[in-house]
C-alpha cells in the first residue's frame, strides 16, 4: 500500500482540566494549555484532557477537537479586545493544525498523526462555553464565517506531539469538505440529494447521519401530505 501523503503539521497539542468558567463559574474543560512532548491518545481523548458536561461534549465522536491555527490572525483583527486569548488553543482545541483549513479537510478523512489514526467525523457547533470565554458575538461569528474546526473519532490509539506531520491515509468523501458542509448548515440549504448522501456518508458521526435521515423523511411526509390535501 502506498505511503500516506503529508497533509499538514500539528503546531501544538492542548489539554485542559475542568475548572470554573465565566462569571457564573460554570465547570468546564474549555480552557486548555499547550503540552510539550509526547501525549497519549485513548479512544475518548488525550491523556490529561477533561470534560465537564458529557451530555454535549466528549465521547467517541468528539474525542479530539482540531482547529486551523491559520484562522487566529483574522479573529484577532475582528475581536482585538480578545487578542490575548485568540491564539492556538484559544477555542478549546486539542490540536492546532498548521497548513489546512475547513476547505482542505473533508468529512470522513482519516489522518495519521504520530502513531495514532483519527477520522474527521463532524464539525464543531458553537456552544454556551464559547460565549462564557468570550462573548455572545463569538458564536455567531464562528457560524457565519465557517471557521469552526472539526471533531475526530479515534480509529487507532497512539502517541502524538507538537510538530508531528499529519498524513492523509484515506479520503472517502472528497466532495464533502467541511467548508461546504458548514456553508450548507449556515444557509439551511441542504437539498434532498445532500441529505440522502449524508444519511449514509462513510465516517460521518452517527448523530448527523440520523438527523439527515429524519429531516429527509419529514420533507417527504410533508410533500405527501400536501399532495394529498390538494386532491381534496
10-47 pLDDT per residue, tens: 999 999 999 999 999 999 999 999 999 999 999 999 99
Q: Are 188 and 130 in contact (CB under 8 A)?
A: no
C-alpha cell at 67: 482547529
CA-based max dimension of the chain: 71
**50-81 b/e (C-beta count within 10 Å ≥ 16 → b):** bbbeeeebbbebbbbbbbbbbbbeebbeebee
The angle subtended at Cα 206 by Cα 202 and Cα 210, nearest 5°, is: 105
CA-based nearest residue to 172, from 159, 149, 148, 155: 155
- The whole-angstrom separation of Cα 216 and Cα 206 is 15
pLDDT, tens digit, for every residue of 81-124? Answer: 999 999 999 999 999 999 999 999 999 999 999 999 999 999 99
- The CATH number for 5-187, chosen from 2.40.33.20, 3.50.50.60, 3.40.640.10, 3.40.1180.10, is 2.40.33.20
- The whole-angstrom separation of Cα 71 and Cα 87 is 9
Can you name the residues that pair with 118 across neighbouring β-strands? 111, 154
pLDDT, tens digit, for every residue of 146-203? Answer: 999 999 999 999 999 999 999 999 999 999 999 999 999 999 999 999 999 999 999 9
H or E stretch covering 212: helix 206-231
For residue 62, pLDDT over 80 is answered with: yes
pLDDT, tens digit, for every residue of 144-157? Answer: 999 999 999 999 99
- The whole-angstrom separation of Cα 42 and Cα 36 is 18
Amino acid at each position: 500500500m502506498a505511503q500516506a501523503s503529508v497533509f499538514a503539521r500539528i503546531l501544538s497539542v492542548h489539554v485542559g482540566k475542568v475548572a470554573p468558567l465565566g462569571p457564573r463559574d460554570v465547570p468546564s474543560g474549555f480552557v486548555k494549555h499547550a503540552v510539550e512532548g509526547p501525549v497519549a491518545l485513548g479512544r475518548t481523548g488525550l491523556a490529561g484532557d477533561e470534560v465537564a458536561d458529557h451530555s454535549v461534549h466528549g465521547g467517541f465522536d468528539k474525542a479530539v477537537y482540531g482547529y486551523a491555527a491559520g484562522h487566529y490572525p483574522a479573529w484577532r483583527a475582528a475581536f482585538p479586545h480578545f487578542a490575548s486569548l485568540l491564539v492556538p488553543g484559544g477555542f478549546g482545541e486539542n490540536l492546532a493544525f498548521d497548513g489546512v483549513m475547513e476547505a482542505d479537510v473533508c468529512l470522513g478523512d482519516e489522518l495519521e498523526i504520530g502513531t495514532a489514526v483519527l477520522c474527521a467525523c463532524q464539525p464543531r457547533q458553537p456552544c454556551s462555553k464559547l460565549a462564557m470565554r468570550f462573548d455572545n458575538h463569538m458564536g455567531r461569528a464562528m457560524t457565519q464565517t465557517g471557521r469552526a474546526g472539526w471533531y475526530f473519532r479515534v480509529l487507532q490509539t497512539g502517541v502524538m506531539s507538537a510538530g508531528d506531520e499529519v498524513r492523509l491515509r484515506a479520503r472517502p468523501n472528497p466532495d464533502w469538505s467541511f467548508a461546504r458542509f458548514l456553508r450548507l448548515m449556515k444557509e439551511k440549504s441542504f437539498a434532498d440529494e445532500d441529505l440522502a448522501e449524508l444519511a449514509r456518508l462513510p465516517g460521518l458521526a452517527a448523530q448527523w447521519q440520523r438527523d439527515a435521515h429524519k429531516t429527509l423523511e419529514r420533507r417527504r411526509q410533508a410533500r405527501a401530505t400536501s399532495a394529498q390535501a390538494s386532491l381534496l
